Amino acid sequence: MSVQGEFVRQQAHFRDWVSADGSTGAVAEPGRYHLYVALACPWSHRTAIVRKLKRLEDVIGISHIHPFRDERGWAFAGGEFSDDVNGWAFLSEAYEASAPGYDGRVSVPVLWDKKAGRIVNNESAEIIRMFGSEFDEWGDASVDLYPEDLRAEIDALEEWIYSDLNNGVYRAGFAKSQEAYESAYRRVAGILPKLEERLAERRYLTGDRITEADWRLFVTLVRFDAVYHTHFRCNGVKVAELPNLWGYTRELYQQPGVAETVAMDEIKRHYYTTHDELNPKRIIPAGGPTHDDFMAPHGRG
């Protein structure tokens, strides 16, 4: 926290790059890398989506982490939330194995190099870029989420969306002063109608093609009404009250393979039971958009 009570996100620690030609020291190859994700987390979620869209399921393995996180950090609680690669009980073990004595924040997602026995990268924005291009020999090279002719526009959109919405909801939710909260709230409340206006004129953020900017926006929109609107006190307009933005969210949800990455039960359980300072009784609200709501006709054609 800053002295004004503003939430400040810690930067990712591991920033190595996997490249198709191995020029970065980590070469892309099938079976070598493993993705650790908590589907409750939006930063994890976007890596799981791109892995799915690029058809990398047989190229990059995945392990899911339990949505509840206590003072010990992200955990593998067993069953569907198990680590079949290293047998860890907590994700912190990956950080310690990669940087002995590591005392920073243990975050998801994590891209693990099985051959080197270390974390390659824990920055989701970089992981989706790697998935989007460096594994094309084995994935679906026809899916280009960062086309060269749109990169400048995508970069500008993502900077705006991150600061005002992706991270903005957290700045509102974890603010430690009224001033910090109101500053963050104004940015969240301001970006939603601007996005609504933009999507009145174009099908996706950059026009008629889905790019990574859309998926980076989607993971916040899909959580907004169920979690951020109430839990993080972003209680102005809901996404479902903005027809263009709501139709756009439903259309992205209905893209092949995407719905199975949206674990709404895990999302709600994580937020409403993990942040005791915001919800000390850990009661999970019953309402919010359901799978049926997201599957309703989107009208974006």
Instruction: Average the pLDDT over 59-70 and give the result.
Output: 97
Q: Are both 126 and 176 inside the same structural domain?
A: no
Domain count, the chain: 2
With a cut of 60, say whether residue 117 has pLDDT above it: yes
Q: Helix, strand, or coil here: 111?
A: strand
Q: Helix, strand, or coil here: 80?
A: coil
- Asked whether the CA dihedral 124, 129, 134, 136 is positive or negative, the reply is positive
Q: Helix, strand, or coil here: 110?
A: strand
Helix axes 42-53, 212-223, angle to 10 degrees: 130
Residue 6's pLDDT band, with cuts at 50, 70 and 90, is confident
Instruction: Average the pLDDT over 49-71 and give the result.
Output: 97
pLDDT of residue 5: 79
CATH for 211: 1.20.1050.10
Residue 9's pLDDT band, with cuts at 50, 70 and 90, is confident
Residue 276 lies in a domain: no
List, for residues 15-51, the tens digit of each pLDDT value: 999 999 999 999 999 999 999 999 999 999 999 999 9
Q: Are both 29 and 122 inside the same structural domain?
A: yes
List, for residues 237-296, the tens digit of each pLDDT value: 999 999 999 999 999 999 999 999 999 999 999 999 999 999 999 999 999 999 999 999
pLDDT of residue 39: 98
Q: Are both 69 and 126 inside the same structural domain?
A: yes
List, for residues 163-212, the tens digit of each pLDDT value: 999 999 999 999 999 999 999 999 999 999 999 999 999 999 999 999 99
Annotated catalytic residues are 41, 170
Taking 3-state DSSP, the helix, strand and coil percentages for the chain, each rounded to the nearest 5, stand at 45, 10, 45
Residue 299 lies in a domain: no
d(CA 120, CA 44): 15
230 vs 5, which has greater pLDDT?
230
pTM for this model (two decimals): 0.95
Q: Are both 123 and 153 inside the same structural domain?
A: no
Domain that holds residue 68: 18-133
Q: Are both 106 and 169 inside the same structural domain?
A: no
Q: Are both 35 and 121 inside the same structural domain?
A: yes
Ordered strands of the 61-64 beta sheet:
61-64, 33-37, 110-113, 118-121
pLDDT of residue 11: 79
Q: Are both 127 and 188 inside the same structural domain?
A: no
φ, ψ for residue 247 (rounded to 5)?
A: -65, -40
Q: Give the tokens for residue 264.
A: 């709404």
pLDDT of residue 2: 52
CATH for 111: 3.40.30.10
Q: Is residue 211 a contact partner of residue 260, using CB atoms and an 8 Å limit?
A: no
**Considering the chain, what is the average pLDDT of its residues?**
96
Instruction: Average the pLDDT over 225-232 and give the result.
Output: 98
Q: Are both 47 and 91 inside the same structural domain?
A: yes
Residue 93 lies in a domain: yes
